[in-house]
Amino acid sequence: MARSTPLSPAEWQFWDTWMTAQRLLSGEVDRTLQRDFGISKAEFSVLVSVHRASDDQLRVTELADSLGWEKSRVAHQLTRMEQRGLLARTESGAAGRRTGITLTQAGRDVVQRAIDGHSDTIRRLGLDPLTPDQAAAIRAWSQQLIDRLDPPRRSTPPPAEPEPDRFRPAGPTGAR
């Protein structure tokens, strides 16, 4: 194994600062979703993934792939969310062998309100403090990391803008 070059103090400071910022941002996002909408980040991720799918339906394997989760984690998460009435499992494919997921009306209501509120949180904590050039540099660096760490995703980059009808404001969402 080749020896690596040790990190300089400035490089360590960059890394530690970035890791701390990620941890703090992740915690604040989770607290906000929990406090304002009664859902965790994991639940939000599932709801948004199904919401983005055509007809608010997605196969379990597609969900696992899109989130980068093991199928057992997805199964446990779906069971909890199904018990809360946020989604329902459906049969699809030949002889109903594939399990699909669809949002219930309660799931649709929660995800739309959470998307609106989460957008406010993202803007307030992450985007507003950045200049357009800073945002572009961070996005480019993040894409480089994704390309190195998750090569299959390179062939299917996310759309630059979400479909407007999938992320339309739901109107007044009440106190946050």
For residue 65, being part of any structural domain is answered with yes
For residue 55, being part of any structural domain is answered with yes
Q: Convert the pLDDT of each residue in 87-107 to its tens digit.
A: 999 886 666 666 889 999 999
Predicted pLDDT of residue 176: 30
Predicted TM-score of the model (pTM): 0.76
For residue 144, being part of any structural domain is answered with yes
* Collapsed DSSP state (helix, strand, coil) of residue 90: strand
For residue 153, being part of any structural domain is answered with yes
Total domain count, the chain: 1
Longest dimension (CA), the chain: 60
Q: Convert the pLDDT of each residue in 119-142 to its tens digit.
A: 999 999 999 999 999 999 999 999
We report the CATH number of the domain holding residue 63 as 1.10.10.10
Domain coverage including residue 103: 34-166
- Is residue 167 very low, low, confident or very high in pLDDT (cuts 50, 70, 90)? very low
Cβ neighbors of 149 (< 8 A, separation 6 or more) are none
Q: Cite the DSSP H helix spans in the chain.
A: 9-37, 41-52, 60-67, 71-83, 105-122, 132-149
For residue 133, being part of any structural domain is answered with yes
Of all residues in the chain, the percent with pLDDT exceeding 90 is 68
Residue 36 and residue 59: Cα distance in Å, rounded? 28
For residue 159, being part of any structural domain is answered with yes
For residue 7, being part of any structural domain is answered with no
What does residue 169 show for φ and ψ, rounded to 5 degrees? -60, 145
| Edge-to-edge strand ranges of the sheet holding 87-92 | 57-59, 98-103, 87-92
For residue 70, being part of any structural domain is answered with yes
The answer to whether 67 and 49 are in contact (CB under 8 A) is yes
Give the residue from 69, 28, 14 showing the smallest Cα distance to 45: 69
The packing angle between helices 41-52 and 105-122, to 10°, is: 110
